[in-house]
Structure 1
């Protein structure tokens, strides 16, 4: 069985994951806790690590079964084929999120095009290519996961 990435309607990640589990489909929606600031208060809120993405583990022949769950839009494709995520990559995400102290990733003296290895946080031990460097953030390409990561820093 492979892990596939499904694209959901915006803000439906947790609902879709719950419905998939109720349908007996093995799925994973990585959740992180953020502090949200409103004009009158701050609150801890659980939000998906990847917006509009849920990972599902199933056989190739059973791929269409996810479309019976409302909120599922399509599969994520990489190079014309459904994106497959390795078991080790899912385990890295799971173990990193279990860490009580997920540190912000900060990198110094990097240039666009540099290949770096992330040393901490949810994507530790992942290789990335630097796409953009600005005064407030970095944009990294994680080829192994087929995604772009934006890291904000102070």
Structure 2
């Protein structure tokens, strides 16, 4: 079985994942904890790490099952075929989200376009390219995961 990326309606990620799990499909919606501010209060909520995307582990022949779930729109495609996510990459995301504390990263003299190797934290040994340098953070592109990482400057 392979992990596929399913595109969902906006704000439907958790609902679609729960419904897929309910019918016996292995689904994963990575969540992060966030403090949300309203005019009269603050609230701690869990939001999806990837907006409008969830991961499903399913046999190739059973891929159409997800279309019976309200909120599931389509599969994400790469080079004309459904995008497949490696088990190792799913495990990296799970490990990163299970870290109890934020990881401190020390940054010294990176420049836009530099290719670096992350030496600590949940993405250890991952290569990245410095895409953007701002006053209080860096934007890194993790090549193997195809995602963007924001690193706060200390």
- TM-score, normalised via structure 2 length: 0.86
- Equivalent residues of 1:14, 1:48 under 8 A apart: yes
Q: Distance in 1 between matches of 2:104 and 2:66?
A: 34
- Equivalent residues of 1:78, 1:146 under 8 A apart: no
Q: In the alignment, what sits opposite 1:43?
A: 43
Q: In the alignment, what sits opposite 1:60?
A: 60
CA RMSD in angstroms comes to 2.1
1:19 offset after TM fit, Å? 0.7
**Structure 2 residues not aligned, in runs of 5+:** none
Query: Aligned residues, how many?
Result: 153
| Residue 120 (str. 1) matches residue 103 (str. 2) | no
Q: Distance in 2 between matches of 1:84 and 1:136?
A: 34
**Structure 1 residues not aligned, in runs of 5+:** none
- Equivalent residues of 2:129, 2:140 under 8 A apart: yes
Deviation by residue 1:37-73 (Cα, 9 ceiling, x = unmatched): 2222221110111111100001111111111111111
- Equivalent residues of 1:96, 1:102 under 8 A apart: no
- TM-score, normalised via structure 1 length: 0.86
Deviation by residue 1:88-146 (Cα, 9 ceiling, x = unmatched): 1111111221121133656342122222233325x444322222222244332223223
Instruction: Map 1:61-140 to 2 at 5 A.
Output: 61-103=61-103, 107-118=107-118, 119-121=120-122, 123-140=123-140
| Residue 34 (str. 1) matches residue 34 (str. 2) | yes
Q: Distance in 2 between matches of 1:152 and 1:71?
A: 34
Larger radius of gyration: 2
Q: Distance in 2 between matches of 1:69 and 1:54?
A: 13
